A and B are shown apart, each in its own frame.
Chain A
Amino acid sequence: MINLAGRDIAQHFGRFLFTGVGLGLLIGATLTMAGVYRGMVADGRAVIAASGADLWVVQKDTLGPWAEPSSLRDDLQRTLAVLPGVAEVANAAYLTMQVPVHGREVRVMLAGVEPGGLGEPSQLVAGRPLLRSHYEAVADRATGLRVGDTVRIRRHDYAVVGLTQRATSSSGDPMLFIPLKDAQEVQFLKDNDSLLAERARTQANPALNRPGVPGLLDAVLAGQSASRSVNTVLVRVAPGHTVAEVQAAIGRWKHLTAWSREDMEEILVARLIATSARQIGMFLAILAVVSAAIVAFIIYTMTLNKQREIAVLKLIGARDRSIAALVLQQALALGLIGFAVGEGAATLWAPFFPKTVLLTAGDAARGLLATLGVCTLASSLAIRAALRVDPAEAIGG
Chain B
Amino acid sequence: MSAPASLPGDDVAIRLSGLTKTYGRGSTAVPALRGVDMTVRRGEVIGLVGPSGSGKSTLLKCLGAVIEPTDGRIELAGETIFDGARGGWRIADLRALRRDRIGFIFQAPYLIPFLDVVDNVALLPMLAGVPDAQARSRARELIAALDVGHRSGVRVSQLSGGEQQRVAIARSLINRPPVILADEPTAPLDSTRALAVMRILGEMAQRYGAAIVVVTHDEKIIPTFRRLYRIRDGRTEEEAGEGRPLDADPAPAAIG
Query: Which A residues form the contact surface with B (CB < 8 A)?
Result: 1-2, 4, 7-8, 10-12, 308-309, 312-319, 322, 390-392, 394-397
- In the complex, are the beta carbons of A316 and B123 less than 8 A apart? yes
For B123, the chain A residues whose CB sits under 8 A away are 2, 316
- In the complex, are the beta carbons of B114 and A10 less than 8 A apart? yes
B183 part of interface (Cβ distance < 8 Å) = yes
- In the complex, are the beta carbons of A2 and B132 less than 8 A apart? yes
Q: A319 to B129, alpha carbons, bound, how many Å?
A: 12
- Asked, given contacts A2-B132, A11-B155, whether A316 binds B127 with beta carbons under 8 Å apart, the answer is yes
CB distance from A342 to the nearest CB of B (A): 26
For B60, the chain A residues whose CB sits under 8 A away are 395, 397
Nearest 5 interchain pairs by C-beta: A397-B57, A317-B99, A11-B114, A8-B114, A7-B114
- In the complex, are the beta carbons of A396 and B132 less than 8 A apart? no
- In the complex, are the beta carbons of A315 and B98 less than 8 A apart? yes
* 25 pairs of residues in contact across A and B, judged by CB atoms under 8 Å: A1-B127, A2-B115, A2-B123, A4-B114, A4-B115, A7-B114, A8-B114, A11-B114, A308-B110, A312-B106, A315-B66, A316-B124, A316-B171, A317-B96, A317-B98, A317-B127, A318-B95, A391-B66, A395-B61, A395-B64, A395-B106, A395-B183, A396-B106, A396-B183, A397-B57
Which residues of B in the span 99-124 have a Cβ within 8 Å of any Cβ on A? 99-100, 104, 106-107, 110, 112-115, 119, 122-124
Q: A314 to B119, alpha carbons, bound, how many Å?
A: 16
- In the complex, are the beta carbons of A2 and B95 less than 8 A apart? no
- In the complex, are the beta carbons of A11 and B113 less than 8 A apart? yes
For A396, the chain B residues whose CB sits under 8 A away are 57, 106-107, 183-184
- In the complex, are the beta carbons of B126 and A2 less than 8 A apart? yes
Prevailing SS type, chain A contact patch: helix
B254 part of interface (Cβ distance < 8 Å) = no
- In the complex, are the beta carbons of B114 and A315 less than 8 A apart? no
B56 part of interface (Cβ distance < 8 Å) = yes
- In the complex, are the beta carbons of A392 and B127 less than 8 A apart? no
For B119, the chain A residues whose CB sits under 8 A away are 2, 7
- In the complex, are the beta carbons of B66 and A395 less than 8 A apart? yes
- Asked, given contacts A315-B66, A316-B124, whether A1 binds B95 with beta carbons under 8 Å apart, the answer is no
- In the complex, are the beta carbons of A1 and B132 less than 8 A apart? yes
B145 part of interface (Cβ distance < 8 Å) = no
CB distance from A390 to the nearest CB of B (A): 8
Q: A315 to B96, alpha carbons, bound, how many Å?
A: 10
B154 part of interface (Cβ distance < 8 Å) = no
- In the complex, are the beta carbons of B106 and A394 less than 8 A apart? yes
Beta-carbon nearest neighbor of A314 in chain B: B95
Q: A395 to B103, alpha carbons, bound, how many Å?
A: 12
- In the complex, are the beta carbons of B56 and A309 less than 8 A apart? no
Beta-carbon nearest neighbor of B32 in chain A: A397
Prevailing SS type, chain B contact patch: helix
Beta-carbon nearest neighbor of B58 in chain A: A397
* 0/1 interface trace, chain B 185-223, chain A, CB 8 Å (1 if under): 000000000000000000000000000000000000000
Q: Which residue of A1, A309, A318, A397 has the most chain B CB atoms within 10 A of its CB atom?
A: A397
Beta-carbon nearest neighbor of B104 in chain A: A315
- In the complex, are the beta carbons of B95 and A317 less than 8 A apart? yes
B112's partner among A312, A391, A395 (CB-CB below 8 A) is: A312
Beta-carbon nearest neighbor of A11 in chain B: B114
Q: A4 to B127, alpha carbons, bound, how many Å?
A: 11
CB distance from B107 to the nearest CB of A (A): 6
CB distance from B214 to the nearest CB of A (A): 13
Which residues of B in the span 51-90 have a Cβ within 8 Å of any Cβ on A? 56-58, 60-61, 64, 66-67
- Asked, given contacts A2-B132, A395-B106, A397-B56, whether A309 binds B100 with beta carbons under 8 Å apart, the answer is no
For B96, the chain A residues whose CB sits under 8 A away are 317
Q: A319 to B99, alpha carbons, bound, how many Å?
A: 10
For B127, the chain A residues whose CB sits under 8 A away are 1, 316-319, 322
- Asked, given contacts A2-B115, A308-B110, A309-B113, whether A317 binds B57 with beta carbons under 8 Å apart, the answer is no
CB distance from B53 to the nearest CB of A (A): 9
Beta-carbon nearest neighbor of A390 in chain B: B66
Beta-carbon nearest neighbor of B53 in chain A: A397
B91 part of interface (Cβ distance < 8 Å) = no
Q: A397 to B100, alpha carbons, bound, how many Å?
A: 24
- In the complex, are the beta carbons of B171 and A392 less than 8 A apart? no
Beta-carbon nearest neighbor of B96 in chain A: A317
CB distance from A24 to the nearest CB of B (A): 23
For A319, the chain B residues whose CB sits under 8 A away are 95, 127
- In the complex, are the beta carbons of A1 and B126 less than 8 A apart? yes
CB distance from B179 to the nearest CB of A (A): 14
Q: A133 to B49, alpha carbons, bound, how many Å?
A: 106
- In the complex, are the beta carbons of B67 and A392 less than 8 A apart? yes
B144 part of interface (Cβ distance < 8 Å) = no
For B7, the chain A residues whose CB sits under 8 A away are none
- In the complex, are the beta carbons of B95 and A309 less than 8 A apart? no
- Asked, given contacts A1-B132, A2-B126, A396-B184, whether A309 binds B106 with beta carbons under 8 Å apart, the answer is no
- In the complex, are the beta carbons of A395 and B57 less than 8 A apart? yes
Q: A316 to B172, alpha carbons, bound, how many Å?
A: 9
- In the complex, are the beta carbons of A317 and B56 less than 8 A apart? no
- Asked, given contacts A316-B99, A318-B127, A394-B106, whether A309 binds B64 with beta carbons under 8 Å apart, the answer is no
Q: A368 to B61, alpha carbons, bound, how many Å?
A: 45
- Asked, given contacts A11-B114, A396-B106, A396-B184, whether A315 binds B64 with beta carbons under 8 Å apart, the answer is yes
B30 part of interface (Cβ distance < 8 Å) = no
